[in-house]
Amino acid sequence: MSGNGNGLTKERVLEELKKIKYPGFSRDIVSFGVVKEVTVQNSVVVVNMSVITNDDTTGPQIEKDVRAALKAMPGVKDVKLSMNVQQANAARNIKSQGTGERAKYLENVSNKIAITSGKGGVGKSTVALNLAIAIAKQGKKVGLLDSDVYGPNLPMMAGVNAKPEVKDEKLVPFDVHHIKLMSLGFLLPEDTPLIWRGPLVAKAVEQLLRDVAWGDLDYFIIDMPPGTGDVQLSIAQLLDLSGAVIVTTPQDVALADAVKGVVMYQKVNVPVIGIIENMSNFVCPHCGRRTDIFGHGGGEKESKRLGVPFLGEIPLDVEIRIGGDTGRPIVEVNPDSPIAGVFFKLADRIIHSGVKEKTAGTPHVHV
């Protein structure tokens, strides 16, 4: 243990720093990767920190909180802080290569896109799978990671019920529906609930990034768990994400959570590619009458209010549900159908979309 005779040690300082939350989040600055180095000598504590943000208040707030916490520690005579604030390039084009500290894994992947939602039950995994296949059918090499560790549904939706092979100490992703697919669901016993605390979950996700032979990809699609918790923050730290797509339904409760998702990604400097409104409407196959079961237009309204693109609407359709239940995604088994065409149009908008300044002048498109 490093320190001096009065019991003041580096380890004690780190424990104190773990009590300080990153501004706007419940996660502490140590696990967030802000603290780079701590030294203790002659009752003087020296802390070197670095943060990537476009928020001018984040660095000073962290520095203020750290200084106050450390000065209150018994035995501390002086505190010396060094804060390196890097401005994130929030105007990155979606096709840009990952750079910087966060580009730790998947360096051979051009575009890393998170498909996420503020709450569960909005059809995020269905959207992620069909979008991944639609992008692949446009001649792109695509990988899809199911990082929803508490509810890994993609194995069933993709029709895969097997264990992955191991080659050269790497898990081999399944080659199915023109995409490479990996999920923790392939590794867990069937019908076994995952009862893990946050750090274990984050570690499992890191292993799926590190220990899977993803190879060279044009697009790496990540089916995120719902919410704004440890997995989202861990992936934002480990990968230089090209952007995030937020999936919501028109109802107010889903939209409220979608807003939280948008704000979270903006805080960690991940560009929001846009919002997709799923289950937007239902057209009766017998009479042709349209019914807005969950309301309508909320996704586009919130997109305008938040200043992010609205990518389009996906209607309720029984063929989408059947495809998910049977492992036969609609984009794969019936690519010429109108509902598959919706996913192809959304995929096309994602492929050709820039971020922020390039999409600001792009008209909203209903698909």
pLDDT digits (tens, 9 = 90+) for 296-344: 777 777 788 778 888 999 998 888 989 989 999 999 999 999 999 999 9
Q: And the tokens for 30?
A: 């140590």
List C-alpha distances in Å: 255 to 232, 247, 298, 305: 18, 9, 7, 12
- Between strands 174-176 and 179-183, the pairing is antiparallel
Q: And the tokens for 311?
A: 């990518």
Assess whether pLDDT exceeds 70 at residue 201. no
| pTM beyond cutoff 0.75 | no
| Residues with Cβ within 8 Å of residue 268, at least 6 apart in sequence | 233, 236
Helix H or strand E encompassing 272: strand 272-283
Write out pLDDT tens, residues 14-30.
Answer: 999 999 988 876 678 88
Superfamily of domain 10-86 in CATH is Fe-S cluster assembly (FSCA) (3.30.300.130)
DSSP state of 3: B
CB atoms within 10 A of CB 319: 16
Task: Out of 219-228, 263-272, 342-351, pick the least confident.
Answer: 263-272
CA distance 224 to 5: 47
Residue 170: how many CA atoms within 13 Å on its side-chain side?
Answer: 12
The SS3 assignment for 297 reads coil
Contact 49, 38 (CB under 8 A): no
Q: 58-71 and 10-17 are packed helices; what angle lies between their axes, rounded to 10 degrees? A: 130
The larger pLDDT score, comparing residue 238 to residue 129, is at 129
Q: What is the pLDDT of residue 239?
A: 82
Q: Torsions phi, psi of 82, nearest 5?
A: -125, 120
Q: What is the pLDDT of residue 100?
A: 41
| Residue listed under structure tokens 């780190």 | 14
The SS3 assignment for 41 reads strand
Contact 281, 315 (CB under 8 A): yes
Q: Give one word for 249, left, alpha or beta, with left for phi > 0 and alpha for psi -120 to 50.
A: beta
The correct CATH number of 109-351 out of 3.40.1360.10, 3.40.50.300, 2.60.40.10, 3.40.630.40 is 3.40.50.300
CA distance 104 to 96: 15
Contact 339, 302 (CB under 8 A): no
| 90-104, 231-245, 246-260: range with highest mean pLDDT | 231-245
CA distance 149 to 41: 43
Write out pLDDT tens, residues 60-84.
Answer: 999 999 999 999 999 999 999 999 8
Assess whether pLDDT exceeds 60 at residue 356. no
CB atoms within 10 A of CB 27: 17
Tell me the three-class secondary structure of 129-198, residue by residue: HHHHHHHHCCCCCEEEEECCCCCCCHHHHHCCCCCCCEECCEECCEEECCEEEEEHHHCCCCCCCCCCCH
Q: What angle do CA 248, 250, 255 make, to 5 degrees?
A: 55
Q: What is the pLDDT of residue 132?
A: 96
Q: And the tokens for 296?
A: 């309508």
Domain ranges of the chain: 10-86, 109-351
